[in-house]
Structure 1
Amino acid sequence: MTSQDLHDRHRRVLPRWVTTYYEQPLRLVSATGRTITDAHGRDYLDFFAGILTNSLGYGVAEFRRALDRQLDTGIVHTSTLYLIDAQVRLAERLAEQSGIDDAAVFFVNSGTEANDTALLAATCHTGSNHVIALTDSYHGRSLTSTAVSGLPGWRPSPYSPFQVTFASNGRTSPNGDEHPPEDPAADLEARLAGQAPPAALIVEPVQGLGGFHTPPTALLQRYARIAAEHGAVLICDEVQTAWGRTGRAWWGHQLHRLKPDVITFAKGIANGLPLGGVIARRDVLDSVTDKSISTFGGNPLACTAALATLDYLLDHDLQRNAETAGQSLLTELRRLDATHPHMTNPRGQGLMLAMDIVDPHTGQPDPGTARAHIEACRAQGLLIGLGGRHGNTLRIAPPLTVTEEEIAEATWILAAAAQHSATASAPA
């Protein structure tokens, strides 16, 4: 079966909104380290890590051995109706790492479910369905998580279970234009006046799908104080920013010196196996007084994978590697900014980096050239991501095990792709 045959079958049976990258979508069949091989035997450096999920990369022996030991028991799933040793051990570790007093942990399968659970707990705790969220944010694909996502194009339903007040992320206004209020915190306070007290403020320490934008620390701190004054719960969405990916911090919220009541996580925790969860003050999480379970959340195999991932991250000091390797990569992105007028605004934290692609004459977002750029990178053997409010942001987030040699190769490809994409998009 050819890749085209598989793509045709994909389009026949999956929804139209399940899209793929590239004009000729990739069919990946094997991987090792940071290198993935497609069905044609072509190798690619993976600098998107399954959307920041394969935190260790591929073929890690210690990770594989841990999974094999669990598989050898014959138990992959038991559900939360029974005691699960790996689940309890993982919850204990995460509660301790969180810095939240009297923390409780609930496991689910994804970041969407984690944020959904956090919002459920916040509404039960406060008796309000009013949520403060940031512009250009993304919190998942469920009805509740899309309702509090501020990124245009990612809220497919006009219906919402919440009353939502969007606050500026420091770059865009609550109305969706790119002229934020002069004092965004004062603007938020004014718009909260006369409304029902908010149940929660939900923030990403670094906005993921929004283009790896880091909201200003002082602004987030003011928002947190406003939320606390109204009795709202502070939820830090760490689905993309946890486990040292930001380099300077284990948790993304530590970059801003925030003290969350609730932390949500997923993606890189289990190096590719589906696992997410919520860490919260017990009084907040225990506000959910009716019965609730997660059939697959916290299953033995996924929790074993998470424990092995955490061990590897800490034993190999991958947070430090994220910081040093990320600084090297950011330096190279700044060189591209200086030499290619259609590439601008290099930014990010650790191994969570981005650049925008713009029309060099007008400075306006150029999503077409951005797509041409990732096609050119793919042709040279490098996989990166797209995102941002206008779909013109290159997102670069390799596994935390990435080497300096691989960064050098990737930056050479990025530079070559920059030349190609600029030529391809130039007017005839």
Structure 2
Amino acid sequence: MTKDLLGRHHAVLPDWLALYYDEPIEITHGEGRHVWDADGNRYLDFFGGILTTMTAHALPEVTKAVSEQAGRIIHSSTLYLNRPMVELAERIAQLSGIPDARVFFTTSGTEANDTALLLATTYRRSNTILAMRNSYHGRSFSAVGITGNRGWSPTSLSPLQTLYVHGGVRTRGPYASLSDDEFIAACVEDLTDLLGHTRPPAALIAEPVQGVGGFTSPPDGLYAAFREVLHERGILWIADEVQTGWGRTGDHFWGWQAHDRSGPPDLLTFAKGIGNGMSIGGVVARAEIMNCLDANSISTFGGTQVTMAAGLANLTYLLEHDLQGNARRVGGLLIERLRAVAAQVPAVREVRGRGLMIGIEVARPGTDEADPQAASAVLEAARAGGLLIGKGGGHNTSALRIAPPLSLTVAEAEEGAAILERALRSIG
């Protein structure tokens, strides 16, 4: 059955639409932190549909909200008043930390970042964007144009002029050997020098923790230091919270809060986890920025009633059950467990992350040279052991990405760590 579906997939879908595993699987259903494939195999899910199943698979509160809303009306577009959209916007505006916030809903993180770029370049009357090396912001023409990860950037053509800044990766590059304070100072000096050689940019867009880049991040405080330089020049800061938002990092509700010395970003983009699988993305911005467009605009599917109902139910569950706190507690235990394992596996270069956003970078033993084949072997071995994880990284996809639903239990974390230990030991 699966082989037949794989053949049909290749016959009608693009070659560049990647599939995991030498023998791809069809996931048919899920419950809690587990999913099942078409052959009846059960897996512990440590990737959540690319960080999208944020609370749990088949969460009753969300499925009930979707079913009840679908029984009333699914969609009407933004041309009509929409109570669930207003209610979710009110909650997100308050949680964002951005003063006088306005919220625009989209259907994906790509579209959210695309909208943020439109707003920033219009507001600043500049098409120059600062972005981080090793970054990823989506697959639209403009988002690809600012993505600093070669593996996810299929064209150099772009409507924007993009300038790439140091700092997103702590343990690689020319400043890797510096202390945290020296690292931040060097990156700020580089940014300041760069701004002296170019026309004023519209904005810096940055992921507080780089997702596709392999869950890398700078020392806490880097983006606050950047913000001070940018603010002096009127340059906006866009925090791409598509993967880091909603408490996934444990210590903070938003990733930017690890860098909050100078306050919240000017714009914040979100998606993935808020819908728990439903297609929700969006932008939060100060009113003066959000309202700078002088032409008509709508969103046919952004903010549609059924997705907003899901988002409201999911956010309520997340807050009432303190899943941010659970991410901090269980994620901390999982990171320490994996670091203990990694110390005995020469092929593991680094275990990094915070909360339930953990990266394991694989390299050829005794070197910093990426080993994508070994990373793929671990992915396969974990699947064979009953665990689904992801891959990423800016150096030939040599990082394993671990991001379970935020309701993960201690027992499930231990089970997943044991499977990962066996998978890592299999590569030596």
TM-score by length of 2: 0.95
Residue equivalent to 1:86: 84
Cα contact 1:330–1:346 (8 A) shared by 2: yes
Residue equivalent to 2:40: 41
Partner letter of residue 427 of structure 2?
Answer: S
1:212-265 superposed Cα distances (whole Å, 9 cap, x missing partner)? 112123322221112112211110000001111010111111111152011100
1:91-128 superposed Cα distances (whole Å, 9 cap, x missing partner)? 11111111111111100000000000001000111111
Q: CA deviation at 1:148?
A: 1.1
Q: CA deviation at 1:170?
A: 5.2
Q: CA 1:89 to 1:170, structure 2 compared with 1: closer, same or farther past 3 Å?
A: closer
1:290-315 superposed Cα distances (whole Å, 9 cap, x missing partner)? 11111100000000000000000011
Cα contact 1:336–1:343 (8 A) shared by 2: no
1:122-162 superposed Cα distances (whole Å, 9 cap, x missing partner)? 01111111111111111100111111111122111121111
**Unmatched tracts of structure 1, length 5 or more:** 423-428
Please, what is the CA RMSD of the aligned residues? 1.4
Cα contact 1:35–1:44 (8 A) shared by 2: yes
SS at match of 1:165: strand
Residue equivalent to 1:426: none
Q: CA deviation at 1:420?
A: 1.7
Partner letter of residue 321 of structure 1?
Answer: N
Which structure 1 residue ranges, 4+ long, deviate > 4 Å from structure 2? none
Q: How does 1:387-406 map to 2 (within 5 A)?
A: 387-390=392-395, 391-406=397-412
Residue equivalent to 1:148: 146
Cα contact 2:168–2:217 (8 A) shared by 1: no
Q: CA deviation at 1:284?
A: 0.4
Residue equivalent to 2:227: 224
**Unmatched tracts of structure 2, length 5 or more:** 177-182
Cα contact 1:168–1:184 (8 A) shared by 2: yes
Whole-angstrom CA distance in 2 between matches of 1:199 and 1:295: 28
Whole-angstrom CA distance in 1 between matches of 2:173 and 2:376: 22
Partner letter of residue 214 of structure 2?
Answer: G
Cα contact 1:170–1:219 (8 A) shared by 2: no
Matched, 1:137 2:135: yes
Q: How does 1:355-374 map to 2 (within 5 A)?
A: 355-374=360-379
Matched, 1:262 2:267: yes
Bigger shift: residues 211-220 or 400-409: 211-220
Matched, 1:385 2:390: yes
Match of 2:174 among 153, 176, 179: 179
Residue equivalent to 1:415: 421
Q: CA deviation at 1:374?
A: 0.5
Match of 1:347 among 331, 343, 352: 352
Residue equivalent to 1:127: 125
Whole-angstrom CA distance in 1 between matches of 2:161 and 2:324: 38
Residue equivalent to 1:425: none
Whole-angstrom CA distance in 2 between matches of 1:380 and 1:219: 39
Whole-angstrom CA distance in 2 between matches of 1:170 and 1:393: 15
Whole-angstrom CA distance in 2 between matches of 1:399 and 1:159: 36
Identity of aligned residues (%): 46
Q: CA 1:170 to 1:293, structure 2 compared with 1: closer, same or farther past 3 Å?
A: closer
Partner letter of residue 179 of structure 1?
Answer: P
Partner letter of residue 210 of structure 1?
Answer: G
Q: CA deviation at 1:323?
A: 0.3
Whole-angstrom CA distance in 1 between matches of 2:41 and 2:304: 35
Bigger shift: residues 164-173 or 225-234: 164-173
Q: CA deviation at 1:172?
A: 7.5
Partner letter of residue 55 of structure 2?
Answer: L
Partner letter of residue 418 of structure 1?
Answer: L
Whole-angstrom CA distance in 2 between matches of 1:145 and 1:218: 25
Residue equivalent to 2:100: 102
Matched, 1:273 2:278: yes
Q: CA 1:382 to 1:39, structure 2 compared with 1: closer, same or farther past 3 Å?
A: same
1:387-417 superposed Cα distances (whole Å, 9 cap, x missing partner)? 0012010100000011111111101101111
